[in-house]
Amino acid sequence: MKLSTRIKRLYSAYDSLCLHIFDLLLSDKNDKFLQWVRWVKQDVTTGPGEYKNFTVQQLILAARMQFNNMNKSGTWNKVDPCNA
């Protein structure tokens, strides 16, 4: 049985794991990525957005895709001009 399936059966474990994933993602220093993570976390915790029904695995994949997109576009290692 998949880990995500087992976690779904234990709602408190799912919530806990989801919060740990967000804590991990929010530990990054890239402002644009952090802004994206906060937006996704708001969708998941309040329920109105496109990420509201994402599993933990889907959240991890979405974060990876966001990183890859930022890396390919050359914005990952750039300092935000507002913070320069």
- Residue extents of the structural domains in the chain: 3-78
Q: For 46-74, give the DSSP string.
A: H--STTTT--HHHHHHHHHHHHHHHHHHT
Long-range residue pairs from 30-33, CB within 8 A, at least 24 positions apart, any chain:
30/70, 30/76, 31/80, 31/83, 32/70, 32/75, 32/80, 33/66, 33/67, 33/70, 33/76
pLDDT digits (tens, 9 = 90+) for 20-54: 888 888 988 888 899 999 999 998 888 788 888 88
The yes-or-no verdict on residue 66 having pLDDT over 70 is yes
